[in-house]
A and B are shown apart, each in its own frame.
Chain A
Amino acid sequence: MIFLHLCLEFFKIGLFSFGGGYATIPFLYHISQVYNWYSLEELTQMVAVASITPGPVGINVATYAGLKTAGVLGSALATTSEMLPSLFLVIIVSKLLRKFSDNFYVKSIIATLKPISCALLTSVALGLLKPEIKDLKAMVLLGVLLIMSWNSKKDPIIYIIISALVGLFLVAFSHFS
């Protein structure tokens, strides 16, 4: 019975959460209140862990919440259920795009979504500036990364690795001095 509820709850999250992984957290909070599958403290822990392991935060938190609730089977069901609505929608939208690619409304919607998408991403970046860029070293690192990446075609993962190493060295240096 718990598996059925788990599937339904995570299917709902997949269907109703807009705006990426962090948008799923209010739903997970709601679940913690209704079902007692995990506590609020555990949810906070899950979000922290989800942000240090690779992958979209939404997938990681769903996996972790499923694991807490009903073990490995629970985590597989939660993750799959959360992504099923997307799978159906993507297939339907892809078919529609193929069929109506010359349609006026389809073309206008896509043309409108591009500037909206830019605005959404810009607001995410601006929102992150405050909690992440707190001091001069963060500003310098961001500046260096932007200059390095602006006109080069390097694998983007390189910048993540470099920055992680810089972070490690700074901690090591502060311990040493």
Chain B
Amino acid sequence: MSLIELFLIFTKIGALLLGGGYVILPLLTSEFVEKRALISHDDLIDYFAISQSLPGLIAANISMFIGYKLKGKWGAVVAMFGITSVPFLCIVLLASILGTLTENSYVQGALWGVGVAVIALIMLTVREMWQKSIRDFFFYVIFAFALLGLIFIKLSPIQTILIFTVFGVFYKRFFEKTRKGEKE
């Protein structure tokens, strides 16, 4: 795979990112895991989880992780410009006419459809992560409490990530120790 090819794949993904960045995981799975087998499913899921916990845009972060994995530093740079190129051009070239378009009833109809599809794709993303993770007691506990915290206490994403990562590492540390103790 050359840098140019990588740029073109990310340009394509950038153009297909309708309804925001959340639909990136199914698109990346289709391009890099299923069609080309360049990245393993497990790596992709790891990158997605890490991308959500880093600052910045999730779609850009995960694209750069893949770029770096495949072609090093320049791969990451190419992924960054690839994923941005079409969205950037659309805004620069079309911004002036798009303002009035958002009020058109047909455009709103299409957007309504895209909005529903995005929910379906996010649900598929959750399902994919769910299936590809080792689901032990630990996984369910973290998932349940993080979700409750997000919904009922209105924790922000960064608060959720910090609180539960610290909790998770302590928990694992504790369990590792007792396990070692059992073996002795």
**A contact residues vs B (CB 8 Å cutoff):** 14-21, 23-24, 45, 48-60, 63-64, 67, 72, 75-76, 79, 82-83, 85-87, 89-91, 93-94, 97, 104-105, 108-126, 128-129, 132-133, 138, 141-142, 145-146, 149-150, 153, 155-157, 159-160, 162-172, 175
Contact = CB atoms under 8 A, between A and B. Distances in A.
13 contacts: A18-B53, A18-B157, A19-B158, A54-B15, A59-B88, A67-B92, A86-B60, A104-B172, A111-B138, A116-B142, A121-B125, A128-B115, A170-B112
Contacts, number: 339
Interface size class of B (residues with CB under 8 A): 35 or more
B135 to A, nearest CB: 8
Given A54-B15, A156-B27, A91 B76 contact: yes
Interface of B: 14-24, 26-27, 30, 34, 45-46, 48-50, 52-61, 64-65, 68-69, 73, 76-77, 80, 83-84, 86-88, 90-92, 94-95, 98-99, 101-102, 105-126, 129-130, 133-134, 138-140, 142-143, 146-147, 150-151, 156-158, 160-161, 164-165, 167-169, 172-173, 176
B113 to A, nearest CB: 3
A141 B116 CA distance: 7
Given A63-B87, A86-B61, A87-B64, A156 B143 contact: no
B91 A123 contact: no
* 10 interchain residue pairs of minimum CB distance: A55-B87, A112-B168, A167-B113, A171-B109, A19-B157, A56-B21, A86-B56, A163-B113, A156-B26, A119-B146
Residue with the highest number of chain A CB atoms closer than 10 Å, among B58, B119, B133, B161: B119
B126 A125 contact: yes
Given A51-B19, A120-B146, A125-B122, A79 B88 contact: yes
B46 to A, nearest CB: 6
